[in-house]
Every structure is written in C-alpha cells, then in structure tokens.
Amino acid sequence: MPIYEYQCGHCQHQYEKKEGFDAPVEQACPVCGELARRLLHAPGIVFKGSGFYVTDNRKNHEWESAERETKEEKPTPEGTSEVSAKK
C-alpha cells in the first residue's frame, strides 16, 4: 500500500498515512478535525531520453551507416544503376 501525504487547509498540519489506492483525496485532519487534502509530488524516477528502446542501442551514426548500406546504389553489368536492398 502506498503512503500518502496530507495537509490540513485550516491549521496547515502535514501528516503521512498508509492507505490503499482507493482512499479518498480529502479527509479529516487528526489535529483540528477540519478538511485535509492529499498532496501530490513528482515521481521518484523519470525515464527520459534515449536508451530505453531496442532502436536506441546503437549510436546514431551506426544506424545511419546501416541505413545507407541498404539503400546504396550498385552498378549493374549493363551500366545502369539499381537500388539493392539487403535483408
């Protein structure tokens, strides 16, 4: 169960309470009995940037060179060019 932090709107008392996900957002303050609201905080871990997907394993220049190789034009015996796709 998560631990939520609450703050009273009347006496500004802050407290933590271990509750389930379905707990109400507002409840009575344990000090004065007035309405206390749940405080929201930023998450502890945020995954941003590259490196979290399969396509991010290689450096950009490696992807670009591999892409160029698949689209590289190669001359045919007749002298015309043909696009070859390696798979």
Q: Domain residues of the chain, as ranges? A: 3-38
Indicate the DSSP class of residue 32. T
Q: What percent of the chain has pLDDT over 70?
A: 55
Rounded mean pLDDT, 46-51: 70
Rounded mean pLDDT, 40-63: 67
Count how many residues are written for the chain: 87
- pLDDT greater than 80 at residue 29: yes
Please, are residues 6 and 37 in contact by the beta-carbon 8 Å criterion?
yes
| The two three-digit tokens of residue 23, written as one number | 């707990």
Note the pTM of the prediction, 2 decimals.
0.49
Q: What phi and psi, each to the nearest 5 degrees, are found at residue 82?
A: -140, 135
